[in-house]
Chains A and B, each alone.
Chain A
């Protein structure tokens, strides 16, 4: 009996500990910070509790195993067996009937074209699983719809987006604002840009940016501006209704700048099968790209 009480106490302690632990991450910001002494102490204590619980559990199992014959005798007493605690005892001593049910194999007087039927009990494991699932159903509906204790589809989405907003860098996400980048000129950036172009842009703009579905990018004519920050914006946010895909979310800010710089490096390259100019000519006075 003493054992049981210890058990209970430890379990309660652990539960409270867990609840406390569950609250801490909410308070602390996501950024990595060194643990305070309090926190270290808390985790040590929690670990100790867990260890104690494990030992207690093992001892409980040992005692049950050791005392099985005695427990069995108690279990087999006719006054104990049908009671609820008797059933728990039965599970402890491992009475298979409690799980599988009593298989009496009593034949009913049914005869359907030679098929007979037993009238065996519903297997308890089956029956209680059924109860558990029904219980789950009520809890689920109550939790989400009556108590409204957790968000549903839209709430989950809002939370997910909020979480993501914390993660993503403060990259300017306003399509109406223009960045002030300079074109990248390092060879590695241009090589990366070339790879990105081949993979994502070539289908519409052609392998050499000569223009296919999308416009020719090697001439001086631009539909949405040929200055590096204009091109960056066009790549990032796309052009609604004109077919330019928004690459935001698919390419990182750096990648967009790389591919933009690569495209601008192709100015005047005069590829074969070039598409006719579209848009307005950008004069040399405007900084196009430093080659």
Chain B
């Protein structure tokens, strides 16, 4: 049947003699998730704005440990990803799934349990992260009890979703649901595999992976959290809400098939592109590169299917804010998914990695794709849930422009800052010396950009406040249609319906959610397995270094303080094999140096310098003064002060348990060392405090700063050749100049 693209003719339908069921869609749960989305969105963005300005003005860290950048930056990322986007996913899924399956959600009880369970997860993150309870693994910072809670809630969601699919009145699953299913399964796999750890106490655990392996698993997770939490569910939402809002048919069914399967299969391989030029084996890095490049077309498949669906509706885009938001969202998605593969090329990555370029990149995705699509969905839903027109289209349009401006104000300065700093780090002068040997110089250069970025955030957030006002007014003008009446014929067994027999080959799997789920699971398991299994099993991938020894018990406590304070949010521990880095920091990092690192602390952003070779570089007193007031040692530094480390005592209560857990995981501490560990730690601490006393610094040896100094002084020193400094041979050499 051929139709003109413009008017959509109602097709004559010959309904088979089927009983028509009457049922009710659950709108209340959709509304609740919607409110949660907005609420957490504001929270996450407020924290984001705060930490943005903290980088420009360190005094905004407010001098307390609970509000310092290192602890609340993870709060921002978690709030935005899991609270804002997470609730956004559930809002859209709960609305569209019911309608695509022509049935109410499987169980109202499960829906409620899912809703409150998820809010509880967020609340526990909100409490635990500022307290410094963290695993340090990006976007997986929450400790093991919360991880278990997440798993339970996710199972509830899955149960509810598959239950709904099972009692559907629509034989075939729409493309949106394929994406929902892939999301559900993959997020479960990612979350469980990456969170595997052994608890030390209720608030502390050590991962079962160490060093390079931990890094690989973490970035397999981190990258695919972007893929399967920020991308696939939102593509599912796009496939429902965009054709709905545009009132146009989806451009190409076969494009959705190809891009769905290729996207989920290829995405999972690309994780190692977060670890280019690190100690990860080269073959794994290269796989990350090529699969990232291959990912361009599958990602763009989603974008073009969205944009081309708007053919014949572009006149509406001019007036309808919902469509405007969608167009920018889909375009931002296209830009980010083209930029991502480009950043995965090693020569581009060499400049961009560890800089604000990456921050700009993710925010184009988060603010543009996730944020704007969420706003579109909310603006579209609210009038339908409350049975009344949107309070003000004009305000929504203003929101659109504020938001767009906010994205530009955010992204452009961050790109600028990223290019600037990336190039400054690498610049050598004519004499073969680093042009900017002082790291701080490269930071101070971009501080103005940090202000502008903060302003971008404020613009974006003020748009959100306009939306809240608009949605509240809309809700007040109408009444919630909590249970929406709908009718659909009951499903007949597939064998009895002729149209269900033939058709496109892919129709077969669309009728079979179980087979579809199995297919999707296989597709997403292959890449991870191929990359991880050899890294774990083949010894040559992590060559051991004989001189690398486990941390002493005091260093271990210091390391856990480093983790607690979130130092890894600003400092990497990964010197890449570039001349510009070995000149600046020292010998590049080797895989074998990290075998006792649980978790790995390579970091992903250098707001401050790399710390892998900081050990033995400065005297204890330098670190002491620096942690007390960073500007005393580095005038102009934007690092916050850590005065509480000088007041709080080292908590030795779980040291024996920590040693026992690490021993279980394979760290070669002697048997029964747990009992002796505390005494050893105290002894080492006493030595450090004595050294400090020599420099007129009085500090009790049981203060946390002592443990932190012990750890910092150990960092990266195991492979350093201990040469005798007294062996000097006087030889006449002509002066160089």
Digitize A139-174: 1 where CB-to-B-CB distance is under 8 Å, 0 elsewhere. 011001100000011101100110010011111100
Closest beta carbon of chain B to A290's beta carbon, Å: 16
Q: A residues within 8 A CB of B729? A: 176-178
Q: B11 within 8 Å of A by Cβ?
A: yes
The residues in B between 390 and 439 inclusive whose CB is less than 8 angstroms from any CB of A are 428, 431-434, 437-438
Q: B227 within 8 Å of A by Cβ?
A: no
Across the interface, name the chain A residue whose C-beta is closest to B580: A160
The distance in angstroms between the C-alpha atoms of A291 and B286, with both chains bound, is 60
Digitize B241-263: 1 where CB-to-A-CB distance is under 8 Å, 0 elsewhere. 00110000111111110100010
The distance in angstroms between the C-alpha atoms of A87 and B8, with both chains bound, is 33
Nearest 10 CB-CB pairings of A with B: A243-B619, A250-B437, A130-B297, A137-B290, A157-B577, A116-B249, A168-B432, A113-B99, A112-B174, A120-B252
Q: A residues within 8 A CB of B282? A: 144-145, 152-153
20 A-B pairs besides A105-B5, A245-B618 with CB distance below 8 A are A105-B4, A112-B172, A113-B240, A117-B256, A129-B300, A144-B286, A145-B286, A153-B277, A153-B285, A153-B577, A157-B577, A177-B733, A203-B634, A213-B618, A213-B619, A213-B622, A224-B725, A243-B621, A249-B437, A254-B737
Find A178's partner among B170, B635, B730 (CB 8 Å cutoff): B730
Q: B residues within 8 A CB of A109? A: 11, 499
Find A134's partner among B11, B294, B731 (CB 8 Å cutoff): B294
The distance in angstroms between the C-alpha atoms of A180 and B618, with both chains bound, is 28
Q: B20 within 8 Å of A by Cβ?
A: no
The residues in B between 591 and 613 inclusive whose CB is less than 8 angstroms from any CB of A are none
- By the criterion CB–CB under 8 Å, are B622 and A243 in contact? yes
Q: Can you sample 28 A-B contacts with CB below 8 Å?
A: A105-B3, A105-B4, A106-B1, A107-B2, A110-B172, A110-B174, A113-B240, A115-B174, A115-B244, A120-B251, A120-B255, A121-B254, A122-B258, A134-B294, A137-B294, A152-B282, A157-B578, A161-B579, A161-B582, A167-B432, A177-B733, A180-B730, A180-B733, A213-B621, A214-B619, A243-B620, A250-B434, A257-B735
The distance in angstroms between the C-alpha atoms of A119 and B258, with both chains bound, is 12
Q: B residues within 8 A CB of A122? A: 252, 254-255, 258
Across the interface, name the chain B residue whose C-beta is closest to A178: B730
- By the criterion CB–CB under 8 Å, are B249 and A133 in contact? no
With A115-B240, A115-B243, A245-B618 as contacts: A141 and B290 at CB distance below 8 Å: yes
Q: A204 within 8 Å of B by Cβ?
A: yes
Q: A residues within 8 A CB of B4? A: 105
Q: A48 within 8 Å of B by Cβ?
A: no
Digitize B280-321: 1 where CB-to-A-CB distance is under 8 Å, 0 elsewhere. 001101110111011011101100100010000000000000
- By the criterion CB–CB under 8 Å, are A118 and B250 in contact? yes
Q: B187 within 8 Å of A by Cβ?
A: no
With A112-B174, A240-B725 as contacts: A117 and B250 at CB distance below 8 Å: yes
The distance in angstroms between the C-alpha atoms of A15 and B735, with both chains bound, is 48
The distance in angstroms between the C-alpha atoms of A35 and B300, with both chains bound, is 50
Closest beta carbon of chain B to A174's beta carbon, Å: 9
- By the criterion CB–CB under 8 Å, are A133 and B294 in contact? yes
Across the interface, name the chain B residue whose C-beta is closest to A199: B438
- By the criterion CB–CB under 8 Å, are A179 and B622 in contact? no
Q: B21 within 8 Å of A by Cβ?
A: no
Across the interface, name the chain B residue whose C-beta is closest to A166: B432
Q: B105 within 8 Å of A by Cβ?
A: no
Closest beta carbon of chain B to A253's beta carbon, Å: 4
- By the criterion CB–CB under 8 Å, are B249 and A107 in contact? yes
With A145-B283, A177-B729, A179-B733 as contacts: A249 and B289 at CB distance below 8 Å: no
The residues in B between 64 and 99 inclusive whose CB is less than 8 angstroms from any CB of A are 96, 99
Q: A8 within 8 Å of B by Cβ?
A: no
The distance in angstroms between the C-alpha atoms of A253 and B291, with both chains bound, is 46
Give the number of residue pairs across the A-B interface with Cβ within 8 Å.
Answer: 219
- By the criterion CB–CB under 8 Å, are B240 and A106 in contact? no
Q: A residues within 8 A CB of B109? A: none
- By the criterion CB–CB under 8 Å, are A178 and B731 in contact? yes
Closest beta carbon of chain A to B255's beta carbon, Å: 5
- By the criterion CB–CB under 8 Å, are A126 and B433 in contact? no
B residues adjacent to A (C-beta < 8 A): 1-5, 8, 11, 96, 99-100, 102, 170, 172, 174, 176, 240, 243-244, 249-256, 258, 262, 277, 282-283, 285-287, 289-291, 293-294, 296-298, 300-301, 304, 308, 428, 431-434, 437-438, 499, 504, 576-579, 582-584, 588, 616-622, 625, 632-635, 695, 720, 722-723, 725, 727-733, 735-737
Q: A residues within 8 A CB of B625? A: 213
Closest beta carbon of chain A to B304's beta carbon, Å: 6
- By the criterion CB–CB under 8 Å, are B619 and A116 in contact? no
The distance in angstroms between the C-alpha atoms of A115 and B246, with both chains bound, is 10
With A109-B499, A113-B100, A137-B294 as contacts: A249 and B622 at CB distance below 8 Å: no
A residues adjacent to B (C-beta < 8 A): 103-110, 112-123, 126-127, 129-130, 133-134, 136-138, 140-141, 144-145, 152-154, 156-157, 160-161, 164, 167-172, 175-181, 199-200, 203-204, 213-214, 224, 233, 238-243, 245, 249-254, 257
- By the criterion CB–CB under 8 Å, are A177 and B296 in contact? no
Closest beta carbon of chain A to B605's beta carbon, Å: 21
Q: B residues within 8 A CB of A238? A: 617
The distance in angstroms between the C-alpha atoms of A99 and B619, with both chains bound, is 65
With A110-B253, A122-B252, A164-B579 as contacts: A137 and B1 at CB distance below 8 Å: no
Q: A residues within 8 A CB of B11? A: 107, 109
B3, B617, B733, most chain A CB atoms within 10 A:
B733
Q: B residues within 8 A CB of A157? A: 577-579, 582, 588
- By the criterion CB–CB under 8 Å, are B1 and A176 in contact? no
Across the interface, name the chain A residue whose C-beta is closest to B735: A181
Find A251's partner among B277, B293, B297, B437 (CB 8 Å cutoff): B437
Closest beta carbon of chain A to B631's beta carbon, Å: 10
- By the criterion CB–CB under 8 Å, are A112 and B293 in contact? no
- By the criterion CB–CB under 8 Å, are A178 and B728 in contact? yes
Across the interface, name the chain B residue whose C-beta is closest to A156: B577
- By the criterion CB–CB under 8 Å, are A133 and B251 in contact? no
Q: B residues within 8 A CB of A214? A: 619
The distance in angstroms between the C-alpha atoms of A178 and B733, with both chains bound, is 8
B277, B297, B578, B622, most chain A CB atoms within 10 A:
B297
Q: A residues within 8 A CB of B5? A: 103, 105
Across the interface, name the chain A residue whose C-beta is closest to B294: A133
- By the criterion CB–CB under 8 Å, are A104 and B251 in contact? no
- By the criterion CB–CB under 8 Å, are B433 and A251 in contact? yes
Find A137's partner among B251, B291, B432, B619 (CB 8 Å cutoff): B291
The distance in angstroms between the C-alpha atoms of A35 and B178, with both chains bound, is 66
The distance in angstroms between the C-alpha atoms of A103 and B304, with both chains bound, is 13
The distance in angstroms between the C-alpha atoms of A123 and B301, with both chains bound, is 9
Find A141's partner among B240, B286, B730 (CB 8 Å cutoff): B286
With A113-B99, A213-B625, A250-B433 as contacts: A129 and B244 at CB distance below 8 Å: no
